[in-house]
Structure formats: C-alpha cells, structure tokens
Amino acid sequence: MRHNFGAGPCILPQEVFRQASQAVLDFKDGLSILEISHRTPEFEAVVTEAVKLVKELLNVPEGYSVLFLQGGASLQFAMVPMNLLSEGQTASYLDTGVWANKAIKEVKYFGNAHIVASSKDANYTFIPKDYSIPEDSAYFHCTSNNTIYGTEMFSLPETNVPIVCDMSSDIMSRVIDVSKYDLIYAGAQKNIGPAGTTVVIVKDEILGKTTNKIPSMLDYTQHIGGGSMYNTPPVFSIYVAMLNLRWLKSKGGVAEIEKENIAKARTLYTEIDRNPLFKGTCAVEDRSRMNVCFVMEDKELEKEFLKLAEENGIEGIKGHRSVGGFRASIYNALSITSVHRLVELMQIFAEKHQK
C-alpha cells in the first residue's frame, strides 16, 4: 500500500479518481470530459454544482461570488492588488513565508506594501502576533497555512480593514467564518481538486473601486459576469474539483473532516514529541494540521529514515530545502491509517537506534 504525504499536487480520494477516469472515457454520449465543449448545458451544470458546493461547504454568505479561475494562487498575488489597490494606496501584509513574500513583491506594480510583522528572522517557525494594522490600509493580506514551514493561522487579527487571505493549503480542512474575509483565494491542488484551477471567494461590494485600468482577463468583475467562463475554463480540473467536493459533502462536510484532521495531526505530533529521535520545527501553538514539519536530533540518520519510509510505501515526506528534515502533508483525503503507518515506522526506527 502506498501512503501519499506529498505537499501538492497531493492525494485525492480513490473514488474521485475512479469517477474522473470514467469521465475521461465517457462523460456524455461517448464524449470525454477532455473534449466536451464548455458551453454545453452539461458542463455548465458542472460549474454550477461546483460553485454551489463551495458555498454550501463553507457556508458562504449572500453578497459573495465564487469563481474558478486559472493561473494558480501565484496569479492572485497580482490580481488582488490590481483589483483592490489604487495608485498611492498602501496594503498591509503579514510575512509568514515564501508565498506571503512572493505576494508582497507583486504589490509594487500597483501601490505600496506595508509589512505589519514577519517571522523571517526565525525561519518562519511561528506566526507573528500582537501587531497593528494601519486603519488607512486598502486591505490586510495573510496566508492562513504555510506549506513549506508547517505553520497555520487559527485566528484573525481584530481590524476594520478588509481582509484578504491566501488559503491554498488549508481551505476545506476546517470550519471558517467566511463573513470575516473580504476575499479568499486558494489553488485547488490540496483539498479542492487537482492542479489547474484556483477558487476565489470575493465580497462583491469591494470590487469596482480601484482607479487601475484592469485587463479583462485579470478583472474579477469580468469573471463574475462570465460565470467563471469568460474564456475557456480548465474543464477537467473543475470537474474533478466538483467530484471531490461531492465526496467531502458525503463525509459530513467541513466540520466532520476537521475532526479527522485534528485526530491525524494530534497522532503525528504526539509521536514527534514523544520519540527521542525526532523533534518539531515550529512553535507548538502555530503547528499546522496540514503540513507537519519535523527533523531528527541526529541529522546523519535522516537519509536512513527516509529510505526506510520509502521502502514501506511512504511517499513525499522529504522536507522542503528551506527547512530540511521531513514534511508530512496530511490533507483531507489522507487516511489516519497512513498516519499510523508513519508513526509505526518512527517507533521501529527509534527502537533500532536506541539499542
């Protein structure tokens, strides 16, 4: 059995793979989902259902639009300031890692970025707290989960400034109050679906206020008007995302999957803290439920443990080069059985090297 702990593109449910593979062969009357026109009623129904499921699973309030776009979360780094920031204005950003930093760099083309706080000096091992957000900020931007460093934001700062959040790697993993956010964006390839589409949830009333001249393809209002089909959408990615959101709903929705995610994270972190060969890399209160980062007390043993893991079906746990060690990504579709197998190998390894 293979256990896929990859950080993304990542594990999806087996039943979603089966349904998607069948649609590749025959989606409608012998036509593949890969060749069906996006203007057909059948595919329009797919987009409609996908949007409906996002709204239902996250309890999205009235007055928000849900979009399926292209370009990944990285394009949103530029689309956000382009649509929300006017020349001379300043947006506030919380710097919690590589992706937050890349978002900050895009602001300069449209206005100014003010970094309210950063954990860079500590290699992003914690989420900054007790910072202030200037009231004249056009918006405040944060990254809810940091895949590389294994930290996660579990609360938002108190502010009257519009909040924008890159939620790429923990959206759909826990209950959130969407009404506290003005714009959420998320690359699909963690808990929504395969790579190729990006979900944007935007409060309608914040749009149309910038003085920027926005190209049509980068204008949220154009995509809202086009129902996520201003141009040819990533058909297959949206279809598989719809299947995956159906699967999540069938499991009881986000509240139920959050319970599973808490149990998986607790199981793995407990072993990391108990096992004398391993140690976590992040502040305990900021530990991510999605990306568990840890190293070995004796770095000389890391290659040996990685080899043992790979020989026993554990995939994708090598840590990012910025942190080293190991990173176990435990997204929604990963079973707790896989976590138990990883823990078992950690225990076996410790017994071997403590003799």
Tell me, rounded to whole angstroms, the distance of Cα 131 from its chain centroid. Answer: 24
Output the pLDDT for position 333. Answer: 98
Q: How far is CA 23 from the centre of its chain?
A: 26
Q: What is the reported pLDDT for 355?
A: 61
What pLDDT score does 119 carry? 98
Q: What is the pLDDT of residue 1?
A: 83
In this prediction the pTM is 0.97
Burial class (CB within 10 angstroms; exposed 0-12, middle 13-18, buried 19+) of 222: middle
Binding-site residue numbers are: 39, 73-74, 99, 147, 166, 189, 231-232
**Any catalytic annotation for residue 247?**
no
From start to end of 6-139, where are the E strands? 64-69, 90-95, 112-118
Separation of alpha carbons 196 and 317, rounded Å: 23
The pLDDT assigned to 340 comes to 98
Instruction: Pick the catalytic residue from 95, 170, 190, 264.
Output: 190
166: annotated active-site residue: yes
Distance CA 135, CA 140 (A): 10
Domain limits, CATH 3.40.640.10, in the chain: 14-250
Model pLDDT, residue 354: 79
Catalytic annotation, pick one of 95, 166, 219, 286? 166
Is 299 a known active-site residue? no
Q: Pick the catalytic residue: 99, 182, 247, 264? A: 99
The CATH class for the domain spanning 253-354 reads alpha beta
SS3 316: coil
C-beta separation of 224 from 204 below 8 A: yes
Give the list of residues 6+ apart from residue 34 with CB closer than 8 angstroms, or none: 24, 235, 236
What's the CA gap between 264 and 259, in Å, rounded?
9
Tokens of 142: 């944060």
Topology of the domain comprising 14-250: Aspartate Aminotransferase; domain 2 (3.40.640)
> Which structure tokens are listed for 111?
């206005």
Residues of the chain with pLDDT under 50: none
User: Which CA distances in Å does 307 have to 87, 247, 301, 316, 318?
Assistant: 53, 33, 10, 12, 10
List binding-site positions for pyridoxal 5'-phosphate.
Answer: 73-74, 99, 147, 166, 189, 231-232
Q: Which residues are annotated as part of the binding site for L-glutamate? A: 39
Over residues 300-345, the pLDDT tens digits come to: 999 999 999 999 999 999 999 989 999 999 999 999 999 999 999 9
